[in-house]
């Protein structure tokens, strides 16, 4: 099954530099549920375009890319259907790592920028303590009632509730990898998907907390990825995944959240996101 979310790209590469151009389709699965009545090209889509451009680099031609770390990624403006996008990527080798600095632009104005570190020899997969997954405060609402995503862009299945107490309190969200997900070739999903899984798990946690406080469920934008460490191993369709999320900071309508993506009691991805809720 082809990747329904794939966007054709014109790419040119010279030593240490990659330049790529594409146009966001007017009709695309990326807009089926992100967000209803307010079509926004998601941060995951931008990072997916970045992966696509980097994957052709010499030594990194096998997709998904090897173990990598995103650092200090900023998202500065919204991308809509029909927008033209340019990716400018500089790369260098340092002590066995490939380092990328990138800018994504729309009509010469910055959309996103940041760094990616790729280490072909590294692998993630630190053990996860069983206690971190033990739900002590159960949730009982369908996922559609606590997150704003819909249709093909709804990637999480269940918000189970909270594990731990006090400072150790964590949201527990579960899902199973599907062939209809973005960045899936029909058999495997790119590990980049873990950024969006943590974002939606965070939304589920926040939405449940809003409902418990008698508030309506809102929606937020990812405005930054402070850091995301992702295993290079592909996620096979049918793989069960659990996201453990917590709130690090909340100030007015700005928040910082961390999350882990877990399979078979091992951490496959660790993500720290910055989010903004419109007033």
CATH assignment of the domain containing 106: 3.10.129.10
- pLDDT tens digits along 130-186: 778 899 999 999 999 999 889 999 999 999 999 998 888 999 999 999 999 999 989
Give pLDDT < 70 ranges for the chain. 1-2, 36, 56-66, 121-124, 279
If asked whether residues 166 and 104 sit together in one domain, one would say: no
Domain shared by 114 and 131, yes or no: no
Parent domain of 102:
10-118
In this structure, are 210 and 256 located in the same domain?
yes
Q: Residue 63's pLDDT is what?
A: 46
- 194 shares its domain with 257: yes
Q: Rounded to whole angstroms, how far apart are CA atoms 246 and 229? A: 17
Residues 91, 202 within the same domain: no
* Residues listed for the chain: 279
Q: The dihedral of CA 171, 177, 179, 184: what is its sign?
A: positive
Burial of 276 from C-beta contacts in 10 A (0-12 / 13-18 / 19+): middle
Q: State the Cα–Cα distance between residues 118 and 123, nearest whole angstrom.
A: 11
Same domain membership, residue 66 and residue 88: yes
Does residue 259 share a domain with residue 157? yes
- The radius of gyration of the chain's CA atoms, rounded to the nearest angstrom, is 18
Whether 243 is in a domain gets the answer: yes
Task: Please check whether residues 93 and 130 belong to one and the same domain.
Answer: no
pLDDT score for 131: 79
Domain end: 60, 88, 118, which one? 118
pTM, to two decimals:
0.93
Query: Among 65, 83, 118, which residue terminates a domain?
Result: 118
The verdict on 15 and 78 lying in the same domain is yes
Cβ-in-10-Å burial (0-12, 13-18, 19+) of 32 comes to middle
Give me the number of domains the chain comprises. 2
| 105 domain residue, yes or no | yes
Pair 64, 131 in one domain? no
Helices 43-54, 193-212: crossing angle, 10 deg rounding? 170
What does each C-alpha distance from 178 to 107, 143, 152, 156 come to in angstroms?
35, 17, 10, 10
State which of 118, 143, 167 marks the end of a domain. Answer: 118
């Amino acid at each position: 099954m082809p990747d329904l979310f794939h966007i054709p790209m014109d790419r040119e590469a010279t030593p240490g530099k990659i330049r790529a151009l594409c146009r966001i389709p007017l009709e695309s699965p990326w807009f089926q549920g992100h967000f209803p009545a307010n079509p926004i090209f998601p941060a995951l889509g931008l990072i997916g375009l970045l992966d696509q451009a980097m994957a052709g680099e010499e030594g990194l031609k096998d997709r998904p890319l090897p173990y990598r770390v995103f650092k200090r990624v900023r998202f500065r403006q919204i991308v809509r259907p029909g927008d033209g996008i340019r990716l400018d990527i500089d790369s260098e080798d340092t002590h066995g790592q490939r380092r990328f600095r990138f800018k994504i632009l729309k009509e010469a104005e910055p959309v996103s920028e940041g760094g990616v570190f790729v280490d072909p020899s590294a692998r993630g997969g630190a053990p996860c303590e069983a206690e971190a997954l033990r739900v002590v405060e159960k949730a009982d609402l369908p996922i559609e009632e606590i997150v704003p995503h819909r249709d093909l862009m709804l990637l999480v299945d269940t918000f189970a509730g909270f594990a731990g107490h006090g400072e150790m309190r964590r949201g527990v969200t579960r899902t199973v990898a599907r062939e209809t997900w973005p960045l899936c070739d029909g058999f495997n999903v790119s590990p980049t998907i873990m950024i969006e899984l943590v974002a939606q798990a965070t939304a589920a946690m926040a939405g449940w907390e809003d409902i418990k406080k008698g508030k309506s469920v809102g929606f937020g934008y990812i405005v930054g990825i402070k850091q995301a460490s992702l295993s290079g191993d592909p996620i096979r369709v049918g793989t069960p995944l659990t996201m453990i999320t917590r709130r690090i900071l909340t100030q007015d309508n700005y928040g910082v959240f961390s999350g882990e993506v877990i399979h078979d009691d091992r951490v496959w991805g660790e993500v720290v996101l910055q989010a903004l809720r419109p007033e």
